[in-house]
Structure 1
Amino acid sequence: MGREFASAAARWLHLVNSNARPEIIGICDTNEELMSWFTSNLASVSQTTTDFKELLSNPEIDAIYCAVPHVLHADLYPQILAAGKHLLGEKPFGMDASQNAIIEKSIAVHPDLLVRCSSEMPFYPGAQKVIEFVQSGACGDILEVESAFLHSSDINPDKVINWKRMVDVNGEYGCMGDLGMHVCHVPLRLGWRPESVYASLVNRVTVRPDSSGENVPCETWDNATVIGNVVNETGNFPLVLKTWRIAPGESNTWSIRVLGMKGSAYFTTKYPRQWQFMEYQAGGKQTWQSEDLGYQSVFPAITGGIFEFGFTDAIQQMWAAFIDELSGGANGFSCATPTEARDHHSIMSAALASGKTGQTQKVEYLS
């Protein structure tokens, strides 16, 4: 992900009338062999180090993007803020709710610093259309919302285990730890906080080979289907959150579907240039419509509207939102906030408890 951001920064000229542009001057990684890629491709890099504290002490650095395993978030994020650096951190903002609370306390001590959480999928044009459709009131009373992120690579039982399959590094959330913020970002932004959840958690592949070929325990959850009960002024509706690492045939699919009494909307990254919607009047036809969107970004770019938006564009749009906010702008959809990250921990903690007990759990929000 560090290289993805570097690529986005290197082609910042792709954006039109940006308030500011990022300049990458420092790189830290414990693997020194990775440094040459950055120094070869980014003339702006003047500092490479294996000690992140050297980055923190560099007065030329204003903000830091930190992408490390979940278990390190509660250690590194507060140190970044204590050094006076703005932060874009990776989800889930702490391995669990208790570690997220440590990060929250550090954020409260530094209210002058911008802190945001990485979540790029809602920046797709189709996702933005769904959000606008809902915010306009076109759905009427909500019947159901489904937000999903589906992978398929773990269907291979011979796939070598990595840190995301290790409880002591990824946390007990399993698939919900890495994918949970992705499925919660839009619902939380739209004000849909479930009061209670029921979760079905699946650990289908219980052992995997390590780097030496020996089978070792794989104790994290492969798939999670969480059904939350959202209560609003017109009643209640189910919010279905799916984070699956074993979803046959799915490469990297994010989707959001909202079904309502007056209108419905749907977008999936499987068909990145389209979104679907239905507008219904009592007694009228119920017909889904598909609209080709082409390239319609939150932050204007040089790409012609007839062309297709993709993952690298979503990454750049997310970073544009962070840089825009950092430079005093307020243009459009913002990155996921610490409050949204905290609320997502409340939801996932309740889901974990539900999956273990088989019972519906109340979600305990901090505010």
Structure 2
Amino acid sequence: MMREIRFGIIGCGLMGREFASAAARWLHLTDTRAKPRIVAVCDTNPALMGWYAEHLGPMQQTTDYRELLANPEVDAVYCAVPHVLHAELYPAILAAGKHLLGEKPFGMDAAQNATIMAAIAAHPNLIVRCSSEMPFYPGAQRVIDFVKSGSIGPILEVEAAFLHSSDINPQKPLNWKRMASVNGEYGCMGDLGMHVLHVPLRLGWRPETVTASLVKRVPTRPDGKGGTLPCDTWDNATITATVPHADGAFPMVLKTWRIAPGEANTWSIRVLGMNGSAYFSTKQPRQWQFMRYTAGGPQAWATEDLGYTPLFPAITGGIFEFGFTDAIQQMWAAFIDELAGGDAHGFPCASPQEASAHHAVLTAALQAGKTGQSVKVAYA
């Protein structure tokens, strides 16, 4: 019988439901060491918890996360709460002896991240990972493998982007992600920065200096009660970094945009080099593009149709298309494989160290954007 890992969920909103859906569809995967079972949920809004019991059966339901953490039936926790709560909840989860997959950015700012990192260091027996699902798309994995193979040669430029369009509507009601007191002063960078930095950091591309263009286009939003409130976070950020490399430093452009006209939810990675180039975007989820170049030869992009070829095999036929819910499940498969003693098929979820490094980049970018200067990144 397959090993079962019992989970508690703190934060029962959108992403909590995505995890519950992934857990309920675990039979979709064909080669896993263990499976998750959700045994407890917690949210300050009791109305959100009923959905879990209705679809997954009886479980602990509480509005106090301390009660969930005291439950001996809970082995691991998925925590998806506003950024301002990370520094309180993540250390508490670890102190209770629970493994953790936490939502990015692992703290509202660098100081809160340092608090979380100290708690992680104090509990080396626990596995802690940061949520970042987009690199689990097969096309993203092909780009990563292409770079690791040495096919790129000297790098000319890297661009990583995560683009939304939902905030282009100025009448969209304010939520916590538009409030610096809850989301953090990073704004869009805090919410989307781990997405664009996960692959570059995994490949060893650590920015040395950054400049940044920060855009704030919607100063107020409806409060849902007939009035308006300040919308005091950055809407868009374009970070240009200089990355040291053995073949020579190269520029890296990181885009975290919440007002990107026409983009519902687009993640992309582009790597351009002297010997080869590679590109993947979730706009074309079943394809990736690459180019191999030899001196004097043709410069021609090739497009490969990948179909359904995930990191963790599944029942879906290879002719079909991979999507967002598949990426979520693949991320969870990687985390649970580690909990069961595996190596996540060679691609673990984002590490706390990568989350800490991304905080260093965002802190420097925030300063650069506010001052108009180039800022050196100070890693912990």
How does the TM-score come out when normalised to structure 2?
0.95
Secondary structure (helix, strand or coil) at the match of 2:233 reads coil
Distance 1:4 1:116 in 2: 17
Which letter does structure 1 place at the counterpart of 2:83? H
Secondary structure (helix, strand or coil) at the match of 1:71 reads helix
Secondary structure (helix, strand or coil) at the match of 2:238 reads strand
What corresponds to 1:13 in structure 2?
27
Residue from 220, 228, 242 that aligns with 1:215: 228
Distance 1:332 1:3 in 2: 27
Distance 1:302 1:27 in 2: 29
Distance 2:52 2:129 in 1: 24
Matched, 1:24 2:49: no
Distance 1:126 1:340 in 2: 21
Distance 1:186 1:237 in 2: 16
Distance 1:56 1:36 in 2: 19
What corresponds to 2:69 in structure 1?
56
Residue from 339, 346, 357 that aligns with 1:326: 339
TM-aligned CA deviation for residue 213 of structure 1 = 2.5
What corresponds to 2:378 in structure 1?
364
Q: Name stretches of at least 5 consecutive residues in structure 2 with no aligned partner.
A: 1-14
Matched, 1:228 2:241: yes
What corresponds to 1:312 in structure 2?
325
Which letter does structure 1 place at the counterpart of 2:71? N
Matched, 1:198 2:211: yes
Secondary structure (helix, strand or coil) at the match of 1:339 reads helix
- Kindly provide the CA deviation profile for residues 228-280 of structure 1, in whole angstroms up to 9, marking residues without a partner as x: 00011111100110000000000000000000000000000011000000110
Secondary structure (helix, strand or coil) at the match of 1:148 reads strand
Aligned residues: CA RMSD:
0.6
Secondary structure (helix, strand or coil) at the match of 1:235 reads coil
Q: How much identity, in percent, do the aligned residues show?
A: 73
Distance 1:178 1:243 in 2: 8
TM-aligned CA deviation for residue 27 of structure 1 = 0.7
TM-aligned CA deviation for residue 33 of structure 1 = 1.3
- Kindly provide the CA deviation profile for residues 316-355 of structure 1, in whole angstroms up to 9, marking residues without a partner as x: 0000000000110012211000000000000000000000
Matched, 1:87 2:100: yes
TM-aligned CA deviation for residue 29 of structure 1 = 1.1
TM-aligned CA deviation for residue 46 of structure 1 = 2.1
Secondary structure (helix, strand or coil) at the match of 1:102 reads helix
TM-aligned CA deviation for residue 215 of structure 1 = 1.9
Distance 1:153 1:46 in 2: 34
Distance 1:17 1:349 in 2: 40
Matched, 1:352 2:372: no
1:261-300 matches, within 5 Å, as 261-300=274-313
Distance 1:117 1:17 in 2: 23
Which letter does structure 2 place at the counterpart of 1:12? W
Distance 1:108 1:35 in 2: 32
1:69-218 matches, within 5 Å, as 69-218=82-231
Which letter does structure 2 place at the counterpart of 1:347? V
Instruction: Count the aligned residue pairs.
Output: 365
TM-aligned CA deviation for residue 209 of structure 1 = 1.1
Secondary structure (helix, strand or coil) at the match of 1:25 reads strand
TM-aligned CA deviation for residue 51 of structure 1 = 0.8
- Kindly provide the CA deviation profile for residues 108-160 of structure 1, in whole angstroms up to 9, marking residues without a partner as x: 00000000000000000000000000000000000000000000011111111
What corresponds to 1:338 in structure 2?
352
Distance 1:258 1:153 in 2: 27
335-344 vs 232-241, which moves further: 232-241
TM-aligned CA deviation for residue 227 of structure 1 = 0.4
163-172 vs 209-218, which moves further: 209-218
Which letter does structure 2 place at the counterpart of 1:3? R
Q: Name stretches of at least 5 consecutive residues in structure 1 with no aligned partner.
A: none
TM-aligned CA deviation for residue 211 of structure 1 = 1.3
46-55 vs 343-352, which moves further: 46-55
TM-aligned CA deviation for residue 36 of structure 1 = 1.6
TM-aligned CA deviation for residue 30 of structure 1 = 1.2
Secondary structure (helix, strand or coil) at the match of 1:2 reads helix
Which letter does structure 2 place at the counterpart of 1:119? S
Distance 1:82 1:365 in 2: 26
